[in-house]
């Protein structure tokens, strides 16, 4: 029993001695590996901070800027770790680590497929100028202002003040309308005037009424007589507005109708009632 213990102790001492010798022999490599990893770590922090500054003018979402900066930092630290292992001649351990990371990454990717899909979709939406915080959008059956775009979903405040949370993947993979991308909108209003009206005066009064409230691109106001109706001469007016909301056209058309009616009343221009003839058999 004593001999066996002495043998085990001797083997342990031999093993520890070999490790100590290996440590002393590779001490310069260990020191160099620590320096390389430390430099990589400090460089990652510096580049991560710089990345946030560069993305500040391109991506309005803080969460997206932080995510991209973190990914850059992780990549640099990972490269430093791989270089450190190579300096220590731990190639076999490095290969095993990479193989294990590949298997683990595949398992995690399958388990978090939906989450990762929304994350990458959120990054895509943030990098593109097609949709931004504050825009008025219509997507997946909802319309409202974009309040936030984060790593998982997009928050849209609807016109009835409800907050709708839509997964980023649903927005990225489906058509969506962004009313804020088109600022110039054309409004079309139709009206009829009596046959006794002075048509030159009607045109001047109508265009002046529109220009007084909608001065934008006033030289592009279009006025047309469309034809002779049953009880009126029909008119179409086209003008431009600056708008970024879904119901801007409806509001502008409503305002234009009120303006035209007020000016016609002031100028004694008649908007006749429809006339219907009833035949008696």
CA atoms of 210 and 71, how far apart (whole Å): 54
Domain assignment present for 99? yes
CA atoms of 245 and 130, how far apart (whole Å): 15
CA atoms of 216 and 237, how far apart (whole Å): 15
**Two structure tokens written together for 181:** 């991308």
Contact 61, 168 (CB under 8 A): no
Domain shared by 94 and 41, yes or no: yes
Domain shared by 155 and 195, yes or no: no
pLDDT tens string 104-152: 555 555 444 556 677 777 777 766 777 877 788 888 888 888 888 877 7
Domain assignment present for 85? yes
pLDDT tens string 187-239: 899 999 999 999 999 999 999 999 988 888 888 899 999 999 888 999 999 99
Domain shared by 16 and 61, yes or no: yes
What average pLDDT does this structure show over 85-110?
A: 60
| Rg (alpha carbons) of the chain, rounded to whole number | 36
Does residue 267 or residue 60 have the better pLDDT? 267
pLDDT of residue 206: 94
CA atoms of 222 and 203, how far apart (whole Å): 10
pLDDT of residue 73: 83
Global confidence as pTM: 0.47
pLDDT tens string 7-47: 666 766 776 666 555 555 556 666 777 888 888 888 888 88
What average pLDDT does this structure show over 57-64?
A: 66
Domain shared by 35 and 103, yes or no: yes
Domain shared by 9 and 114, yes or no: yes
**Two structure tokens written together for 93:** 């351990």
Domain shared by 96 and 204, yes or no: no
What is the number of domains present in the chain?
Answer: 3
pLDDT of residue 189: 92
Domain shared by 47 and 97, yes or no: yes
Say which CATH number the domain at 166 has: 2.30.30.60
Q: Which domain holds residue 210?
A: 184-266
Q: Which of 156, 168, 150, 166 is CA-nearest to residue 63?
A: 150
Given 83, 99, 119, which residue is the final one in a domain? 119
CA atoms of 98 and 58, how far apart (whole Å): 34
Say which CATH number the domain at 6 has: 1.10.287.1260
Domain shared by 235 and 259, yes or no: yes
């Amino acid at each position: 029993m004593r001999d066996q213990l002495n043998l085990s102790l001797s083997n342990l001492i031999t093993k520890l001695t070999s490790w100590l010798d290996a440590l002393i022999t590779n001490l310069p490599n260990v020191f160099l590996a620590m320096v390389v990893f430390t430099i990589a770590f400090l460089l990652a922090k510096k580049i991560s901070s710089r990345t946030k500054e560069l993305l500040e003018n391109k991506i309005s979402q803080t969460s997206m800027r932080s995510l991209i900066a973190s990914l850059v930092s992780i990549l640099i630290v990972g490269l430093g770790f791989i270089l450190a292992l190579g300096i220590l001649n731990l190639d076999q351990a490095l290969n095993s680590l990479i193989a294990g990371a590949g298997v683990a990454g595949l398992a995690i990717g399958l388990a978090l497929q939906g989450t990762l899909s929304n994350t990458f979709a959120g990054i895509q939406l943030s990098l593109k100028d097609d949709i931004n915080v504050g825009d008025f959008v219509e997507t997946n059956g909802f319309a409202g202002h974009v309040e936030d775009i984060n790593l998982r979903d997009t928050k849209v405040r609807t016109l009835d003040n409800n907050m709708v949370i839509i997964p980023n993947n649903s927005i990225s993979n489906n058509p969506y309308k962004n009313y804020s991308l088109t600022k110039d909108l054309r409004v079309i209003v139709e009206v009829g005037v009596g046959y006794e009206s002075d048509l030159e005066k009607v045109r001047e009064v109508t265009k002046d009424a529109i220009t007084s409230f909608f001065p934008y691109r006033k030289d592009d106001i279009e006025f047309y007589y469309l034809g002779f109706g049953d009880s009126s001469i029909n008119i179409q007016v086209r003008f431009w507005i600056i708008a970024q909301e879904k119901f801007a056209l409806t509001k502008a058309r409503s305002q234009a109708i009120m303006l035209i009616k007020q000016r016609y009343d002031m100028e004694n221009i008649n908007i006749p009632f429809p006339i219907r003839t009833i035949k008696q058999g």
